[in-house]
A and B are shown apart, each in its own frame.
Chain A
Amino acid sequence: MGITKKVEVYLGPLQEKFRRCPPISDLIDYFTSNFTFVLGYTWDHIKLVGSAIIIAIVIGVPLGIYCSVNKYAASTILQIASIMMTIPSLALFGIMIPILSLINEGIGTLPAIIALVLYSQLPIIRNTYTAISNVDPDIRDAANGIGLTTFQRLYKVELPNAIPLIMAGVRTATVLNIGVGAIATLIGAGGLGGIIYQGILRNNTTMILAGALSVAVLALIADLFLRLIENLFTPKGVKK
């Protein structure tokens, strides 16, 4: 039995139920007949946002840690990250085109990933910075007094205690990126925005709704998934 058939078996009865409510029954109909199509777009979206978030963590967490040891740099770095957030996403994608055209990557995945990484920086840097700065000063004092080096203090004491707050930042950034990622389709990056955009072009409300719904569901699932990861990495003694 093919996957499309399977979906039909599950969604069929549901569709019967909503026969008298055309928008919903049309929507179910759309998902049933275009399942693999939607799945493909969703996978593109996950790849786009996922790679952007991984890069954002690799850049943002160390920057946040650096902010916590250098208060002077902290205000500058956080300000730049805040300014990034204020640029409308469409404008940011627009700016990428002339800049990246210089290396022949004006449209496509690369500019989209760069834009998403920039958007993720504020929540990740700020949460990391806050988490590490807020580690109980007595604990830091004890760590120093016992003879831990700065690096040992960071990875043995400060980071383990900061994980819940850092992960909260990552979750915010991920949900944000799944939304913003839908717009990336306009510069040819693919993803679920494509379904919405095609819906608009064809004046097809069902398609617009299907795209929007998929984005929302993906955001919820991603948040749940990251919650599990957070739970996995939080030391037992830090969980309250």
Chain B
Amino acid sequence: MIHFNDVTKVYNGNVKAIENMNFNVEDGELVIMLGPSGCGKTTLLRMVNQLESITDGDIMLNGKSVKQSNKIEMRRNIGYVIQSNGLFPNMNIEDNAMIVPNLLGWDRKKMRDRFNTLMELVGLNPDQYRKRFPHELSGGQQQRVGVARALAADPPVMLMDEPFGALDPIIRTHLQEEFLQIQKELKKTILFVSHDIDEAVKMADKIALLKGGQMMQFAEPAKMLNKPANSFVAEFVGQDRVLKSMSLYTVKDLATALTLKPVSESLEAQNINENLSLRVAISKLLNQEADQLIVENNNGTNKGSITLDLIEQFLHREIKESV
């Protein structure tokens, strides 16, 4: 859906911000661009909707060069979410969320229905917030409206520039999870900027790690954590990268890959749902809450037990043997 072909950005004739960037964001994929500040990730994002010009190379959006597209028309077909939410203080929540449909000339009834659907989707009561103004909402609520506004005209592509960066950790986690749910349902093609490796691991289908305007690695989160392409990537993802990668696997993944142990009577036991992540499982074990975890599916059927040994065995298999 979004193809970066040798994209280069040069400022003032000699400062190279982006150098020969090549990667693709496929349909329905959430790609997170990650990197230290000044690595060019935001510039790259803003080049897609032409808020920044492209010096060399091109970006193809749905097979069409963004350089040649009509900027205004193209932007109305791209959802855009920024860190500071950018809601318009002079408009109430409904006008804010419906600004693009309004520009596109939707009729009133259709806009009202769309507003109700969207607000339900982002977890706000439509009638309670319709006539309120942005400054009356909390940061988290404002950002929910920001997401609703970006989704308003049902654009196939979304650009998100650190959308959850300004929120406190609890609200951030909340919104990340809710947004993942929304994404599961809507299957948008999303290009997302973040500087937070945990956020990227949690949300991305693929991560593009940038440094100084160059691509360091472009891979699935698990692969980036288990097989960093170079020392910069290894350092950036952190020494605890194995622990981070654990959140990418569920207990079910382990149960499919290896045979679970039979439940031992002599060990202290606790139950765990098979849809929880291995990270939860390992922290339960390390926390001395139990020596073995009995795996259950949603119906509560016992499928066997896991221990630390088994998790180690699983990781060995994932890191050493997978490609």
Contact = CB atoms under 8 A, between A and B. Distances in A.
* A is bound by B: yes
Nearest to A139: B86
Given A146-B75, A147-B73, A237 B86 contact: no
Contacts of A143: 86, 88
Contacts of B133: 236-237
A145 B75 contact: yes
A58 B51 CA distance: 32
Interface in A123-153: 136, 138-139, 141-149, 152
Contacts of B51: 141, 144-145
A161 interface: yes
Nearest to B131: A236
A161 B89 CA distance: 7
Contacts of A156: 88, 91, 99
Size bin of chain A's contact surface: 20 to 34
Contacts, number: 77
A141 B89 contact: no
Contact of A147 (B76, B82, B134): B76
A139 to B, nearest CB: 5
B100 interface: yes
B257 interface: no
Interface residues of B, number: 29
Nearest to A157: B88
Contacts of A138: 82-86
A160 B89 CA distance: 9
B72 A149 contact: yes
A145 B82 contact: yes
A235 interface: yes
Contacts of A157: 88, 90
B2 to A, nearest CB: 16
B89 A145 contact: no
A148 B149 CA distance: 14
B90 A161 contact: yes
Interface of B: 49, 51, 71-76, 78, 80, 82-92, 99-100, 103, 133-135, 149, 159
Given A146-B75, A147-B76, 11 more contacts: A136-B84, A142-B80, A142-B88, A145-B75, A146-B76, A146-B100, A147-B72, A147-B74, A147-B103, A152-B103, A235-B91
23 contacts: A136-B86, A139-B87, A141-B82, A142-B86, A142-B87, A142-B88, A145-B51, A145-B86, A146-B80, A146-B99, A147-B74, A149-B72, A157-B90, A160-B90, A161-B88, A235-B90, A237-B89, A237-B90, A237-B92, A237-B133, A237-B134, A237-B135, A238-B90
